[in-house]
Structure formats: C-alpha cells, structure tokens
Amino acid sequence: MSRKQQLLKRHRRNKRIALSVGLVVLLALGAWLGWWLVPLLAVLAWVAHEAWFADHLFYAPGDDYQYRFADADQVAGVRLDDGRLQLERPHPLQGDETLILALSVRSHWLGRFFDPAVLLSGLGETDVQTFERGVNGVRYLNLTGLGHVLNEGALQLRGRFCRLEGAPQLWAFRAADPRRQRVMVIAPHADDAELAAYGLYSQADEAWIVTLTAGEIEAEHYQAMGMNKAEAARLKGRLRAWDSIAVPRWAGVPEQRCVQLGYFCLQLPAMQAAPEQAVASREAQLDDTRLFRQFNTLELPGDDGVPSWNNLLADLRALILNARPQVLVMPDPAIDPHPDHICAQAAVREALQGLEWQPEVVLGYANHLHDNDRWPMGDAHSGVTLPPVFDAQSRVPYSLVLPTDVRRDKAMALGMMHDLQPALPFKRRLRRSLQRLLAGRRWPAEGENEFFRKAVRRHELFWRSEI
C-alpha cells in the first residue's frame, strides 16, 4: 500500500470516529433541548465540513516544511523591513534565476476559515501565493520572475489572513535554460505533459512528448452513454491516445515527435514485477496495445502489441536514441505518489542503463502529492509555492515563469483533453458553491476540473538533477 493510500485510510478512519462522536453529541443535545435541533445541527455541521474541513491535508498546518539547499546557492544579507524585502549588498541577479524565499507564516484566526496568502508587489508586478488554513510554520515562496524588483529594493510582501515572521532566507539557483535544449517529456498518461510542462515544452526549440499509457480505465462517463465497461474503456483509451498526439500540436510540436506507447493504465507496476509477462488492461478486455498506438508515425520495438515491461524499455531506448534529448522531464517519485508515475521514472532510468546516449539533466515534476490534494493552493494564474516536504533531502528547484498568453494557451490545451471535460458531480459542485460563499474560494472560468486551478499558474515547478 502506498504512503498516500495509508494516509487516506487513516483520514477516513478518523473521519468515521469524528462522525460517530458527533452523532452521539447530536442525539444527546436532541434529548436535552428538543429533537427538532438534531436535523438542523446536522445540516449546519455538514455545511461547515464542506466549506472549511473538506480538504485532504495529511499533516499538521503547524509543521515546518523541511528543505535542504546548498549553502553556495544562498543569498546572504536578506532582511524584511516593514514588509519590504531588502538585500544588504548588491547581488548579481540576472533575472532568469529560480528564487526561493523561506519565511515563517503564522495564520490569523480568520486564516482558519479563509486561505492565508502572501501578496507580492512592486514595479507593476503582482502575485499571490497561498498556504494551508491555520498555517503556522516555515514555508517557501517562489520569487522567480521578481529578481529585478528585488534588485531595485521594491519588492513588498504582505500577509492576508496571516503574518510573516522570522528572519527570511533566500536562495538563487542558476541553470542553463532547458527551452534552448532538446527536451523530451515523459507523460505516464495523456495530459500529464500538459499539466506539468506545457509552458516549458511549448517554448522549447525542440520537444518530444512520449506518453506511456492510454489511460483507459475509470470510464464511467462513457458507460453513461450506453456502453458496457469494456467498450467504454476502449473508447476512452482511444480518445486519450488521440489527445496525447493531437494536443501537443497546439503547442507547435510536430506530429512525428508525439508518441503514444499504448500500455495499460495502472498496470505498469505489474509489468515491472514480471518484465517478460504480458499484462492486460484491467477494464478494456485487451491484451494488445496496438489499438492505442495507431496514431504513431514512428516504428517502435513494441509495435507487436505485447504489453510487457521489456517492450516498454525497448520503446524508450529506441526513442531516446532517436531524439537524443538533452533534458528529460518526468515524474519525481520522491514527491509524486501515483504508481504509474513512480514506474514511469523507474522505466526511463532502467532504459538509460548502458545506453550510448545519456541526457544531461532530469527535471522532475509532481502532478499529485502524498500529503495535500489541493497543492498548488490558491487561484489559477497565481504563483506556485514549494510543496509540503518533510524529509529534508537535498533538492534543486527549477522554476519557469509563464507569460499570460502561454497560460491561456495551456488552459486551452487542458480543455482539449477528454479526461478533463466531464462535468463535476453534484456533490462537488455544491461543495464549491459553499466554499465560494463561505470561504471566498474561486475557480477559473476556463474549466471545471480541479486541474484548471492547479496547473494554469504563473510558474511551472520542477526538481533538477543530473543523470
């Protein structure tokens, strides 16, 4: 069982206990004050839960995030004077650095009901970066793109429903611009490349998009159209396979550099466990990948249709040797807990062993988290803070600023993805209405799916490592 599944199981157990205790309290109040109070208090408690306590947060908001960055990247002499971030002596900021600022953020009492945020402004630039309700610990702001404002001593920081405390720490990370290199994005499913890296690959001089699975399972939306489970799964897989080839064309990636390998969703761990064995789809009644590979223009070793780990490795080796990418963009298994995402990274690492071409840099991404289903917190088009991390491992962030027009194109790319198009269920729409009314939350006009809020942001964030 994955760590996230364990956390979710514990969360549900605690929720059942809280509901049982609440029911006993309601019954006691009803017996004491009158039974008419029971349904009224039950409705009010449910409304309060949906508005303020429905987030999946598997850690205490008072815990410090724990990152360890190299001393060589730290900027000395940083202070916060009356809300203005100041450098005691000039620092050679060029404008393309990834800038990370650590501060203690302490929520006001209102910050337990409204999302606490830090407002950044100066020289006509504005941003808002949001944290957990009730936050009370060290957090990491992303100042990438604001270096010129900081250089001029004009960067203002102001808390909303929170206050900023402690001595700030600033790091500046410099790296070669991956947009000027050959980039290959590894996407476990159609839309992973767009969620994590549309801004990067759409601006790259040369980009390849390699999608590993068809993403055919959980096709209830298509079953509602009158298909049985297998028919719906096959249709969903075909649509998502098409999306993985067609949507990158919106960003200018040529068709021959978009590849769908057609392996089956959530079956990569089983394939990895038995590399020579063919592993069929869970729901589509298929043991042949060719239905989902039909839109490819390249010939690959796995075109015999066998859904095995060895075929996946052979496909990846052939693609890497063909494309010769300098930068690989793929899921970071230390942060992203999705089993297909973990296996995607493992497959690429294994495929690279002994290969004559070796990329120079890996940029890891996280489209899912262990601990916080809402990260990045806050509204669409706002900045991306560093995610909750508590293991203090050494990491090197790389962040890219997305101009407004690129963010709009990214939103449209997500809108073309069939898996992000179905309407939300009634319960979730009702929850959003309550949160909009009682907690001040907003959702973007570009689409209902939560990923339109999470992914269409001022920044794209990656974790840089060497091969």
Six-digit token pair at 144?
């990438």
Burial of 118 (0-12, 13-18, 19+ CB in 10 A): buried
Residues 362 and 464 sit within 8 Å (Cβ to Cβ) = yes
Report which of 380, 364, 372, 369 is spatially closest to residue 454, judged by C-alpha positions.
Answer: 380
Report which of 89, 134, 100 is spatially closest to residue 114, judged by C-alpha positions.
Answer: 134
Please tell me the predicted confidence (pLDDT) of residue 363.
98
Six-digit token pair at 438?
């009682």
Six-digit token pair at 161?
């429903």
The tens-digit pLDDT sequence of the chain (467 residues) is 555 566 556 656 766 666 666 666 656 666 666 666 667 777 888 888 899 988 988 888 999 999 999 999 999 999 999 999 999 887 778 778 999 999 999 999 999 999 999 999 999 999 999 999 999 999 999 999 999 999 999 999 999 999 999 999 999 999 999 999 999 999 999 999 999 999 999 999 999 999 999 999 999 999 999 999 999 999 999 999 999 999 999 999 999 999 999 999 999 999 999 999 999 999 999 999 999 999 999 999 999 999 999 999 999 999 999 999 999 999 999 999 999 999 999 999 999 999 999 999 999 999 999 889 899 999 999 999 999 999 888 899 999 999 999 999 999 999 999 999 999 999 999 999 999 999 999 999 999 999 999 999 999 999 999 87
Residues 265 and 216 sit within 8 Å (Cβ to Cβ) = yes
CATH 2.60.120 fits 71-173, yes or no: yes
- The label of the residue with tokens 């920044």 reads 459
Question: Alpha helices, DSSP H only, in 190-289?
Answer: 192-203, 220-223, 229-250, 268-273
Kindly calculate the radius of gyration of the chain based on its CA atoms and give it in whole angstroms.
24
Residues 341 and 368 sit within 8 Å (Cβ to Cβ) = yes
Report which of 41, 54, 17 is spatially closest to residue 439, judged by C-alpha positions.
Answer: 54
Please tell me the predicted confidence (pLDDT) of residue 367.
97
Report which of 240, 119, 255 is spatially closest to residue 187, judged by C-alpha positions.
Answer: 240
Q: Give strand pairing partners of 461.
A: 399
Report which of 322, 304, 342, 315 is spatially closest to residue 260, judged by C-alpha positions.
Answer: 315
With a CB cutoff of 8 Å and minimum separation 6, the contacts of 222 are 231, 232, 233, 235, 236
Burial of 393 (0-12, 13-18, 19+ CB in 10 A): exposed
**How far, in Å, CA of 87 to CA of 77, rounded?**
6
- Where along the chain do its domains lie? 3-52, 71-173, 178-466
Say how many residues make up the chain: 467
Q: Give strand pairing partners of 156.
A: 84, 121
Please tell me the predicted confidence (pLDDT) of residue 91.
77
The sheet with strand 258-263 has its strands ordered as: 258-263, 206-213, 182-187, 327-331, 361-365, 459-466, 397-401
**How far, in Å, CA of 335 to CA of 353, rounded?**
23
Q: Give strand pairing partners of 157.
A: 120
Residues 379 and 128 sit within 8 Å (Cβ to Cβ) = yes
Q: Which residues of 26-48 are buried (b: 16+ CB within 10 A; e: fewer)?
A: beeebeeeeeeebeebeeebeee
Burial of 130 (0-12, 13-18, 19+ CB in 10 A): buried
Residue 357 backbone phi and psi in degrees, to 5: -110, 130
Six-digit token pair at 188?
């476990």
CB count within 10 Å of CB 49 equals 16
Question: Alpha helices, DSSP H only, in 161-228?
Answer: 192-203, 220-223
Residues 372 and 387 sit within 8 Å (Cβ to Cβ) = yes
With a CB cutoff of 8 Å and minimum separation 6, the contacts of 154 are 84, 122, 123
Choose which CATH entry (1.10.630.10, 3.40.50.10320, 3.40.50.300, 3.20.20.140) describes domain 178-466.
Answer: 3.40.50.10320
Give the DSSP letter of residue 149: H
Please tell me the predicted confidence (pLDDT) of residue 36.
61
CB count within 10 Å of CB 268 equals 26
Q: Is 402 helix (H, G, I), strand (E, B) or coil?
A: coil
With a CB cutoff of 8 Å and minimum separation 6, the contacts of 5 are none
Q: Is 33 helix (H, G, I), strand (E, B) or coil?
A: helix
Please tell me the predicted confidence (pLDDT) of residue 194.
98
